């Protein structure tokens, strides 16, 4: 009999029949999940099992609580059950200090209010758009204040913090940061460079754009990982939880996913995306009058939209052939953003194949995917049927 079997035997003492079998099954699932997470962090099977059982605590306490659940009056049974489920659901995690984020001072200083002459030189549609933006932010100075706070900038991540976090999470990273312009990753301590990221100096320290985070993690480990939260998310790798970003320079999960999906598509043919697709950041200054898509689901869920609007506009303007655009957004009030064009006549289609066909006919179209973020090592995109999606006005 294994240590896990003994633990389950003691924890289910006092239960009988189906109740005992159900409780044993739930406990075994919790134990195996913990063992798996510890093994991802490098533990051998025996040590991982010991750590998992230690996390669950005393089997005698669990037995007492389980018996109270199954013998208590119905009025309080639900409350007790929630307590036991919470106990079984506690995950052994290593909390790691946040990976710091920042903006370049130069980018913040470039914000300025347009002069009357600059506004007068705009086309009427552009002037109307600017006035709507001013109204949204409380006037020119309000818009400028948000700009100086970095509201429309993509934040940078501290290289020092990122490498330290990976080390604490027991993710081996062979990196070279001796240069001031690049973070070079190697396949091993002596191996050839696999990939390099351009760095920016902030207060004398190297930073990388936060958009590279998903690609970075995929480069240094094959472990499953995920991001939890829409702003300054927590990166979970195995049992390690790594906070990403700061209040002064917020990191948006949708922008990390947008860049990461576009990058992953170049090697992951399972993703139903064009090989070359341009992600549109949520930091882009959007006209409040542009339409959105009403999509099924819950607010906070992540969707990805591939559309050909910019591509067709560019082709009509000068015959160019740009890539399609990828908009990764969280559902808010039932809607997601998908365009920066005020009056698009857009057809929602069911697949990339249908989108390609629409592009060939010169028809503006979009395909919507629900993004499964459970494991960003192998993200999954599921097409939302076109009949379930509507173009709506703000």
pLDDT confidence of residue 238 = 85
Of the listed ranges 51-65, 328-342, 346-360, the least confidently predicted one is 51-65
Residue 371, helix vs strand vs coil: strand
For the residues 253-281, what does the mean pLDDT come to?
A: 92
For the residues 282-305, what does the mean pLDDT come to?
A: 93
The answer to whether 218 touches 122, Cβ cutoff 8 Å, is: no
* Mean pLDDT comparison of 123-137, 164-178, 350-364, highest-scoring range: 350-364
Helix or strand holding residue 392 (H, E): strand 390-392
With cut-offs at 50, 70 and 90, classify the pLDDT of residue 297.
very high
pLDDT confidence of residue 391 = 95
List, for residues 110-132, the tens digit of each pLDDT value: 888 788 888 888 888 888 888 99
- Tokens representing 362 are 């010169």
Provide the CB-side half-sphere exposure for 50 (13 A, CA): 5
List, for residues 5-36, the tens digit of each pLDDT value: 898 888 888 888 877 887 887 788 778 767 76
* pLDDT > 60? residue 94: no
* pLDDT > 90? residue 210: yes
Query: What average pLDDT does the structure give for the chain?
Result: 85
With cut-offs at 50, 70 and 90, classify the pLDDT of residue 68.
low
Longest Cα pair distance anywhere in the chain, in angstroms?
83
pLDDT confidence of residue 33 = 65
* pLDDT > 80? residue 200: yes
pLDDT confidence of residue 28 = 81
* pLDDT > 60? residue 239: yes
- Beta partners for residue 224, in sequence order: none
- Tokens representing 278 are 């341009």
* pLDDT > 80? residue 278: yes
CA–CA gap between residue 306 and residue 304 (Å, rounded)? 7
Of the listed ranges 104-113, 229-238, 283-292, 339-348, the least confidently predicted one is 104-113
pLDDT confidence of residue 18 = 77
Q: Which residue has the higher pLDDT, 70 or 20?
A: 20
CA–CA gap between residue 186 and residue 163 (Å, rounded)? 13
| 3-class secondary structure per residue, 25-94 | HHHHHHHHHHHHHHHHCCCCHHHHHHHHHHHHCCHHHHHHHHHHHHHCCHHHHHHHHHHHHHHHHCCCCE
The DSSP line for 195-234 is EEEE-EEETTEEEEEGGGHHHHHHHH--S-EEEESSBSPE
CA–CA gap between residue 111 and residue 200 (Å, rounded)? 19
With cut-offs at 50, 70 and 90, classify the pLDDT of residue 87.
very low
CA–CA gap between residue 244 and residue 155 (Å, rounded)? 11
With cut-offs at 50, 70 and 90, classify the pLDDT of residue 91.
very low
pLDDT confidence of residue 72 = 43
Whats the size of the chain, residue-wise? Answer: 394
CA–CA gap between residue 208 and residue 251 (Å, rounded)? 13
pLDDT confidence of residue 73 = 45
Q: Which residue has the higher pLDDT, 180 or 258?
A: 258
* pLDDT > 50? residue 78: no
CA–CA gap between residue 27 and residue 85 (Å, rounded)? 10
Of the listed ranges 169-183, 253-267, 284-298, 319-333, the least confidently predicted one is 169-183
Look-up of token digits 């307590």: 83
């Amino acid at each position: 009999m294994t240590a896990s079997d003994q633990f389950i035997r003691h924890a289910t003492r006092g239960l009988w029949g189906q109740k005992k079998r159900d409780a044993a099954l739930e406990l075994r699932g919790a134990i195996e999940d913990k063992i798996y997470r510890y093994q991802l962090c490098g533990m051998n099977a025996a040590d991982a099992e010991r750590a998992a059982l230690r996390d669950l605590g005393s089997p005698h306490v669990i037995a007492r609580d389980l018996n109270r659940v199954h013998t208590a009056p119905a009025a309080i049974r639900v409350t007790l059950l929630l307590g036991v489920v919470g106990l079984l659901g506690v995950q052994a995690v290593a909390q790691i200090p946040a990976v710091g984020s920042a903006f370049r001072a130069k980018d913040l200083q470039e914000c300025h209010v347009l002069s009357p002459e600059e506004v007068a030189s705009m086309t009427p549609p552009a002037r109307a758009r600017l006035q709507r933006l001013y109204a949204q932010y409380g006037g020119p100075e309000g818009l400028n204040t948000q700009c100086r706070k970095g509201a429309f900038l993509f934040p940078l991540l501290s290289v020092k913090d990122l490498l330290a976090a990976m080390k604490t999470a027991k993710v081996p990273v062979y990196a070279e940061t001796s240069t001031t312009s690049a973070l070079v990753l190697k396949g091993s301590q002596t191996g050839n460079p696999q990939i390099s990221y351009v760095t920016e100096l902030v207060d004398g320290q190297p930073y990388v754009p936060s958009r590279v985070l998903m690609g970075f993690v995929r480069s240094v480990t094959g472990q499953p990982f995920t991001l939890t939260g829409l702003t300054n998310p927590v990166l979970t790798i195995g049992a390690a939880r790594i906070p990403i970003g700061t209040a002064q320079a917020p990191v948006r999960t949708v922008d990390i996913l947008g860049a990461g999906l576009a990058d992953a598509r170049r090697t992951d043919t399972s993703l139903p995306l064009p090989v070359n697709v341009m992600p549109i950041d949520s930091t882009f200054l959007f006209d409040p009058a542009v339409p959105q898509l009403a999509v099924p689901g819950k607010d906070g869920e992540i969707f990805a939209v591939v559309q050909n609007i910019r591509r067709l506009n560019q082709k009509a303007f000068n015959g160019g052939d740009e890539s399609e655009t990828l908009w990764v957004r969280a559902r808010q009030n039932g809607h997601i953003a998908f365009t920066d064009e005020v009056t698009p006549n857009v057809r929602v289609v069911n697949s990339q194949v249908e989108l390609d066909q629409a592009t060939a006919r010169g028809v503006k179209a979009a395909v919507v995917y629900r993004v499964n973020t459970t494991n960003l090592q192998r993200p999954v995109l599921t097409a939302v049927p076109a009949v379930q999606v509507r173009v709506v006005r703000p």
